[in-house]
Structure 1
Amino acid sequence: MITAKNITVTTTTERKNISLIEMINDKIKKEQENSFGISMLFVMISTMISSISIGLALHGGFSYPIVALSSMTAMATNAAAFSQSPFKYVVWLGMISIITNTLLVIIQLPKLF
């Protein structure tokens, strides 16, 4: 005598929460073939914003921590790009430099007025 039990199959789908870091890393992988141009853009933009931040830090006085932070972040991006580090490092250092120096510029803007 052969008997069969009722078998139920349920499929569940979980939504994968993608973090911001994973999204950026996926975008970096997709843009790998344009790495040279994007690296040079990061170098130019981060150097430009950090020079504005340093200029504001020197306006009306000398703020050593701001000058040091702006210089370090810009030079880290430049060093990563020019030493042919992996594209991922250049992008992350460039984004850190741009965000940090943009915040420093916003903080220092009231000094102008």
Structure 2
Amino acid sequence: MSTPLIHDDPGLQPERTTLAWTRTTVSYAVCSAILLRWLPHYGFYIVALIGLMVAMAFGIYATQRARHHTSVQGLVAGRVRAQVGAVVTMTLALIGFGVAGIILILIS
């Protein structure tokens, strides 16, 4: 097991950010479970959405340690950079899920 990363932020900013990403992962998992309810009505479309949501949740989970490590290193160095790629990916995924929801409503 690796040693914990040490930083001097009294507000624990990296830990708060990690907790927020964890909540996002749980939200994706819960939403994908809720979509199972619509499986008999929409079939393959819902399976595809569930697959994408689960993939997003696993993607967040898989990259969470690296994001936390980068954030702590940035605090120690005095230069924290925004995680633009992660935010853009999440934004595009949510827009895609919203558009897919509208399309599913319109085709029913």
> Please, what TM-score do these two structures have when normalized by structure 2?
0.45
- Higher helix residue share: 2
> Please, what TM-score do these two structures have when normalized by structure 1?
0.44
